[in-house]
Chain A
Amino acid sequence: MGFSLFANLAFNGLITGLVVSLLALSITLVFGIARFPNAAAGDVATVGAFAGLLGPLAGGGTLWIILCGMAAGALLSVAFYFLLFRPLAGKSAVSSLIASIGMAFFVRAALTFFLGHDQRVYPLPIVRAMPVGPLRVQPTDIEIVVAAVLALAAVFSILHLTPIGKRMRAVADNAELARVSGIRANRVLVAMWLIAGLLAGLSGTLLGVKTVVSPEMGWDLLMPAFAATILGTIGNPVGAVLGGVLIGLAQELSTPFVGFTYKLGVGFLVLLVTLLIRPQGLFAKNSLVR
């Protein structure tokens, strides 16, 4: 029982951690480049999850759900960049942070005003898991792992292999210097918010596939995603994903010792202890921000 129990707990931790990671990836990009913790990321994910309900109209299967969700996330994200975050760019990070909390509330309020509080589910078949050793792997698990790996690879290659990514890193490094060297921050930031919205939409739809679609789902995911972001050092995509996985693993593996209800507290404890030892987070070296 011993090994099998812990193997299963670790696997559960990995999967929940990866769902969190995708949102953390969105947050860490904004944090690294626009320099504030974006509290609206969770509710962008929620909007993505609701937009995913339109997926079956476009075509069957998980893929269309995800695509609809990502598109909606990107749209919302870019729209709020122009309406809200661009005018706030010159002000302190706290202004943007508070405005993003306001945006989160506003978006959720609009959702519940028009669509109500009822839960919804995607019309996907429910299938039995495959046994893999002691584990039972569901198709959703595979989708989540694949999505997380692809998303991370995409973000990483955009940042390091494309011209716009290079400019993003330059802006992250020193916005002033980047401007002086002729980089048009506006275009970089539009690209950045677009990617952040796509990622949030992706995390929202995957969470919706795994659980149920509800107006509070993204806000509830925000706290762990924030924790993952700073655990892995802001502005570091690999760090965000590893941070999410680490917290997921710690939470699930702790349950035989502290019980199920305290596991959320364990996530916080891991974060706290890490920050006491490394105030910059675990992966400060490869971060966009120095």
Chain B
Amino acid sequence: MLSYLLAVAVVALIYSLMTLALNLQFGFTGLINFGVVGFFAIGAYTSALLSQAGLPLELTLPCAALAAGLAAWPVALLSLRLRIEYFAIVMLGYAETIRLVISQEEWLTGGVRGLPGIASLSVGLGIPGDPTLVAFALALACVVGAVLVSRRLVHSPFGRMIQAIRDDEDAVRALGKSPGRFKVAVFVVSCLFVGLSGGLYAHYITYLAPDQFGALLTFYIWVAMILGGAGSVGGALVGSAILLGFIEGSRFLHDLLPGVSAVEMSSVRLGVIGLSMMLLMRFRPQGLLGGKAGCG
């Protein structure tokens, strides 16, 4: 049981890295990133491909983060020119295009057939022991690191600046500061987290295919962030844990609800996610433990 819980926890941690990033982007600057899964895919494939080319994981994981950050940079510049709703839709298209490129460029990515046999974290890093435990420790370390970085960002003068941007962009501009530079910086830094989480994912699942990078994952991360409360660093972790707890918990549910078939259960899963998005927005936009920020 413990090992399985660890396995679920690894995925929850990988998700919470993304949730933290989204939290920085949306919760602190108001940027709507509906392309999370695109940066996740870039991180995953970068690390997987580099490791298959013979690089050690100590190098490929930072490269995964960097690649996602690089891909985020032009996008961040674009965000300055567009209305936020436009940006949201463009990001959806961006992520979808990345998935398309991955499925077409077979010479590089293995295309729709996928990329099997990726080194696992324990093998790739040469750490002996239970692979799940190794993955858990590593993911936990990354999340702790990301939390520390997030907290520093939020409480630094820089952080106060980005919160000011969210609250009143014009006032910031009136003070002679350029909100644009801050937004770009936040977007790129947080996409580093997403890239890193992609790298961890690649070496945890050890098999990658374009199907794994559909838009649904982006919405999962949004749900996790909203659950925990936009703008709350701790909330990002709690939100991911609740989300994964629910998705995996539904596995055990069919022992309790024998009348519901597994096919129906997949509908129930999607329905509950949808319902919780509606109810949260309607009744508790600040999230379950969010502060005053929220989506309201």
Contacts and interface: CB of A to CB of B under 8 A. Distances in A.
Interface residues of B, number: 43
Given A31-B85, A109-B267, A265-B101, A102 B93 contact: no
A105 B86 contact: no
A94 B87 CA distance: 12
B97 A105 contact: no
B222 to A, nearest CB: 7
A283 to B, nearest CB: 14
Given A95-B281, A99-B278, A116-B263, A262 B85 contact: no
Contacts of A87: 282
B78 A101 contact: no
B82 A279 contact: yes
A112 B282 contact: no
A11 interface: no
- Which of B85, B96, B226, B281 is the most central at the interface, judged by chain A CB atoms within 10 Å of its CB? B281
A106 B92 contact: no
B82 A275 contact: yes
A224 B89 CA distance: 10
B101 A97 contact: no
B84 A93 contact: yes
Contacts of B90: 230, 271-272, 275
Contacts of B84: 93-94
Contact of B100 (A84, A103, A261, A271): A261
- Per DSSP, chain A at the interface is helix
B282 to A, nearest CB: 6
A167 to B, nearest CB: 23
B295 interface: yes
A98 interface: yes
Given A95-B296, A105-B277, A279 B271 contact: no
A116 B96 CA distance: 27
A87 B92 CA distance: 27
A218 B89 CA distance: 17
A108 B85 contact: no
Contact of B285 (A91, A264, A265, A269): A91
Nearest to B264: A113
A262 B104 CA distance: 8
B274 interface: yes
A105 B103 CA distance: 26
Nearest to A219: B215
B231 to A, nearest CB: 13
- Which of A109, A267, A269, A272 is the most central at the interface, judged by chain B CB atoms within 10 Å of its CB? A109
B278 A276 contact: no
A268 B278 contact: no
A87 B271 CA distance: 21
B276 interface: yes
Interface string A267-290: 111011001100111000000000
B275 A264 contact: no
Contacts of A234: 85
Contacts of B275: 102, 106
B293 to A, nearest CB: 11
- Which of B100, B274, B282 is the most central at the interface, judged by chain A CB atoms within 10 Å of its CB? B274
Interface string B265-294: 011111101111110011001000000000
B219 interface: yes
A223 B92 contact: yes
A98 B223 CA distance: 9
Nearest to A80: B278
Given A36-B85, A92-B295, A92-B296, A262 B271 contact: no
A227 to B, nearest CB: 6
Interface string A130-159: 000000000000000000000000000000
6 smallest beta-carbon distances between A and B, as pairs: A102-B277, A105-B274, A109-B271, A106-B274, A113-B267, A99-B281
28 contacts: A84-B282, A91-B285, A93-B84, A93-B85, A98-B226, A99-B278, A101-B277, A102-B275, A103-B274, A104-B274, A105-B270, A105-B277, A109-B269, A112-B270, A117-B263, A223-B92, A223-B93, A227-B93, A230-B86, A261-B104, A264-B96, A264-B97, A265-B101, A267-B93, A275-B78, A275-B81, A275-B82, A279-B81
Given A94-B84, A281-B86, 13 more contacts: A88-B282, A93-B85, A95-B295, A97-B32, A99-B282, A105-B270, A109-B268, A109-B269, A227-B89, A267-B93, A272-B93, A275-B82, A279-B82
